Amino acid sequence: MKTAERTLSQIEAEIAQVQNELSDVHGTQTEVYARIVGYYRAVRNWNKGKADEFKHRKMFTLEASNRFDGAMPEKLVAQAKETVKAETTAAAGEIASYDIFVRKTCPNCPPVKAYMANINLTGNMIDVDTKEGLSEAALKGVFAAPTVIVYNAEHKEIARGHNVEELTAIFEPAVALA
């Protein structure tokens, strides 16, 4: 089967036609779901107060973040992995103590507590449900439970972990980096 050859002007005319069609595209209304009081629900079904709250929310975007330098997310992930490898390798053998920030109702805290119970180091368990614990968490920049902050002999922070996998990378770097 022989295909007809097109001239440059015919191709440009086709491109102009497609661009014209694209400028007149009309979609349908998008259904937006967001978390409200513990579960997801269509925003259009929210009561007036919650809907107004939703309008004032600020959505996080990587580009708007003050830490974004224009690098592609893959590059950022690779840099983070290299940083973790370097920090955990440097921290191996220097670890002297730790603080673990937990909550009573935290579903992720029990496995981290169990892991840390098997680590032969001096440590403090800080309950962020208390006023004192919350103040200490704020002072140290802890935004989630569980968080384990690892210190060297001079009580300088050398690593942080939020789950068993991250803690394994900190306390068992030869196994985690293999």
User: Could you report the per-residue pLDDT of 5-39, keeping only the tens digit for each?
Assistant: 889 999 999 999 999 888 888 878 888 788 777 77
* Gap between the Cα atoms of 131 and 137, Å rounded: 10
Cis peptide, bond prior to residue 111, ω within 30 of zero? no
Pairs from 136-142 (Cβ < 8 Å, separation ≥ 24): 136/99, 136/101, 137/101, 140/99, 142/101
Residue-range domain boundaries for the chain: 31-60, 73-176
CATH superfamily of 73-176: Glutaredoxin (3.40.30.10)
pLDDT in tens, 118-171: 888 889 999 999 999 999 999 999 999 999 999 988 889 999 999 999 898 888
Look up the pTM and report it.
0.48
* Gap between the Cα atoms of 85 and 122, Å rounded: 24
